[in-house]
Amino acid sequence: MQIPRYQILIADDDDALRETLRSLFAPYVDTIVVHSGEEAVEMLERQPVHLALLDMHMQELTGLETLRIVKAKLELIPCILMTADWTDELAMAAEAAHAYCVLRKPIPRRMLMGTIASAVEAAYHDGEFRRRLLAS
């Protein structure tokens, strides 16, 4: 049985965090990294992506604005927002925009991996991915 290889889009204007996330996920998924919401939208129009991990505070488009655009084009893709400035208002706006969830930075590794695993399992019914990812 062939193991599916998922593509995760990481949009964050912090170079160090993007690279940290890329290296964290590299053994399990293919990663596409971009530094802005605009690039995220362009990338999603050009290649298949199975999950989007979006920083809230980026130049031009915020993560929430990017999420709204992505969901208008690709309704089923799970989108996770990351922010150091979590508020109830942001959580409600993200829920209204159909975000999978909002994670508070700094995000503990185990929480991040668990959230990615849950989002992939929910969207693609792939419990084996969850087992592989959480075994790390």
Domains parsed from the chain with CATH numbers: 7-91+120-129 (3.40.50.2300)
Q: Which pairs count as long-range contacts for 37-40, CB under 8 Å and 24+ apart, including other chains?
A: 37/11, 37/61, 37/62, 37/63, 37/65, 37/66, 37/69, 39/11, 40/9, 40/11, 40/66, 40/70
User: Is the pLDDT score of 85 beyond 90?
Assistant: yes
pLDDT at 3 > cutoff 70: no
| pLDDT confidence tier of residue 2, bands split at 50, 70 and 90 | low
Q: What is the pTM of this model?
A: 0.94
- Name the band, by pLDDT with cuts 50, 70 and 90, for residue 114: very high
Strands 51-55 and 30-34: unpaired
